[in-house]
Structure 1
Amino acid sequence: MRLKLYRAPTMAEAMARVRAELGPDALILATRRAAEGVEVTAALEPEPPPAARDAERERLLAYHDVPTDLRPALEHGPLDAALAAALPFSPLPLDGACRPILLAGPPGAGKTLTVARLATRLVLAGTRPLVITTDGRRAGAVEQLAAFTRLLGIELVVASHPVTLGRALARRSPGCPVLIDAFGTDPFDPAQREEVAALVSTAGAAVALVLPGGLHPAEAAELAEGFAAAGATLLVATRLDQARRLGGVLAAARAGPLALAEAGIGPGAADGLAPLTPAFLARRLVQAVQPCPREPSP
């Protein structure tokens, strides 16, 4: 451990010197008043040797069950930079001047809630999107989304066929963002995949696959490939507040390939979604391996 003593007229000046020289990870061991002001004793833990850092990274990647063909690209250097170089990342095109966004995925992945969250984000930013659901077959699907759109004061259109979808899009206001909630789809069923592809073609939409975190990497990769065949180019990873192992998210992005766009991080409509950036994903990968806090024994 490297110890250093800092003297300054004020505590604020002393702490500024500590941060400037030792960085934000410095440990403050002691402070005391001195004749000339204050003294601060600070320390910095030495960097682990390269071999130890590599072993720690290998354990992290193994914990998350990251696909073996992806691990070499993530084993060295800052994790966020390695992720940015190895996987595609891109924000959702929510500008009304861009194409509509169609959210597709297997049943129960969180598509409807994701649409509600994106609509909430737009409304809070002063933009009123057009929300369309194509899921007229699942009991309660329309009612679930209608509850959100009523609260937001925006329009919800039910269009379960390409013809009705085309009519709804023809009536939208210029520059109005469009969010389309697709029905839960089995991408390995050719008929369902073609049905989604027809909706995508009619809307000219950018397609985001909504996939929950925590899936087995092989399963996630196969789903990503199936939805990519139907036009998906983006990935929204849901339930990252619950999933402990995120290898499936990385596997899906790699297999599609699908650009990582958004992350589901909580139950709320207003704050339950966050941009899925390399820095965010790196933090989640590291945080997930930390021991869970335990309640004290009675």
Structure 2
Amino acid sequence: MKLRVIRAARMSDAMAQLRAELGEDAVLLSTRRIAGGVEVTAAQDQDDEPLMIAPGAVPSHRAIPPDLARHNVPPALAHRLAEGRLAAALESVLGFARLPLGPAPLLLAGPPGAGKTLTTAKLATRLVLAGTPPLLVSADGRKAGAAEQLAAFARVLDLPLAIANGPAALGKALARRSTGQPVLVDLPGCDPFDPASARFLAAMLEVAKGACVLVLPAGLDPDEAAETAGAFRLLGCRHLLPTRLDSARRLGSVLAAAAVGLPLTEAGTGPDASGGLEPLTPEGLAHRLATPVRQERT
């Protein structure tokens, strides 16, 4: 097994090249910020020399559509979405998928403060109303009050709650669930560029053998969102659930994060645990992008 080192100005550029060169089975070893960009180290079975990657050029000869420019969509992505009707372009360029709420554990990952615990409560409420009460697992014992917040939701919904602050504890919690019982795992906030935090997330996903959803707030800097989403994808996240879609004034970060290869599923649209999740569709997202940005009140 040989090491491959990929350097680029942005994580999204490194991600795209990594998929192109190594495929989906590359093993991520580390990610870190360097002067001028990011560096990703991955392992592969091929006997190749390390590959140095430069970011691709961004076309500059075409104007960006006003709706996309208003939402700060990165230029390269905006040009791809400018072909034809916006909803059709979104469906062609980005991925859309149903949230994988099935028998396999669903793990909610993301940076600190992204809204993972509230999203877990919203999904738990949905499952209870559907007659399939889940097992809740809080793996966020390091954040003050995180387990207590999920415990409050668990009491209201009359659901079992397990505290698992590491891979071994998570494995034991999953072993005690009823046959076919859904599981929602609220993971701690993760900095995917920190090696220790990244290793912890990878270890939890390895034990759970479930589906990992990246919970990421809307309204971030688009480049930062793309780099963060790309790093989480390399660690094992396969779906994207943006939060705060109701309050974000610009949605370029949501599109940039999805463009790294994370299908959009649903979006958090409010603090109500009994609702506040909206399925994302190309038509619905196109409508939001075409709606003028709300002006600040004076």
Q: Give the drift of 1:76.
A: 3.3
Q: 1:230 aligns with which of 229, 235, 238?
A: 235
Q: Give the drift of 1:286.
A: 1.6
Asked if 1 retains the 8 angstrom alpha-carbon contact of 2:211 and 2:238, the reply is yes
Q: What RMSD over aligned residues (CA atoms) do the two structures have, in Å?
A: 1.7
Superposition map of 1:17-36 within 5 A: none
Q: Distance in 2 between matches of 1:191 and 1:200?
A: 14
Q: Distance in 1 between matches of 2:295 and 2:112?
A: 30
Q: 2:99 aligns with which of 81, 92, 101?
A: 92
Q: Deviations over 1:247-272 (max 9, x none)?
A: 001111112x1111110111211121
Q: 1:263 to 1:204 in 2, by over 3 A?
A: same
Letter in 2 for 1:275: P
Q: 1:137 to 1:73 in 2, by over 3 A?
A: same
Asked if 1 retains the 8 angstrom alpha-carbon contact of 2:107 and 2:212, the reply is yes
Superposition map of 1:37-186 within 5 A: 58-96=65-103, 99-186=104-191
Aligned residues: 237
Q: Distance in 1 between matches of 2:101 and 2:78?
A: 32
Is 1:260 aligned to residue 260 of structure 2?
no
Corresponding residue for 2:8? none
Q: 1:278 aligns with which of 273, 278, 282?
A: 282
Q: Distance in 1 between matches of 2:116 and 2:228?
A: 15
Letter in 2 for 1:183: P
Q: Give the drift of 1:95.
A: 2.1
Asked if 1 retains the 8 angstrom alpha-carbon contact of 2:249 and 2:294, the reply is no
Q: 1:294 to 1:106 in 2, by over 3 A?
A: closer
Q: Give the drift of 1:292.
A: 4.4
Q: Distance in 1 between matches of 2:294 and 2:171?
A: 51
Q: Distance in 1 between matches of 2:138 and 2:236?
A: 18
Equivalent position SS for 1:85: helix
Corresponding residue for 2:203? 198
Asked if 1 retains the 8 angstrom alpha-carbon contact of 2:108 and 2:116, the reply is yes
Q: Distance in 1 between matches of 2:156 and 2:282?
A: 33
Q: Distance in 1 between matches of 2:296 and 2:223?
A: 30
Equivalent position SS for 1:260: coil
Equivalent position SS for 1:259: coil
Q: Distance in 2 between matches of 1:232 and 1:184?
A: 14
Structure 1: gaps (5+ residues): 1-53
Equivalent position SS for 1:226: helix
Q: 1:249 aligns with which of 215, 231, 254?
A: 254
Corresponding residue for 1:211? 216
Q: Give the drift of 1:233.
A: 0.9
Q: Distance in 2 between matches of 1:134 and 1:290?
A: 37
| Identical aligned residues as a percent | 57
Q: Give the drift of 1:290.
A: 5.0
Q: Deviations over 1:170-215 (max 9, x none)?
A: 1111111111000011110011101010000000021111100000
The TM-score normalised by the length of structure 1 is 0.76
Q: Distance in 2 between matches of 1:206 and 1:291?
A: 35
Q: Deviations over 1:37-82 (max 9, x none)?
A: xxxxxxxxxxxxxxxxx98x80001011111111222213322211
Q: Distance in 1 between matches of 2:222 and 2:296?
A: 27
Equivalent position SS for 2:213: strand
Q: Distance in 1 between matches of 2:296 and 2:144?
A: 39
Equivalent position SS for 2:248: coil
Q: Distance in 1 between matches of 2:297 and 2:230?
A: 39
| Structure showing greater relative contact order (alpha-carbon pairs closer than 8 Å, 6 or more residues apart) | 2
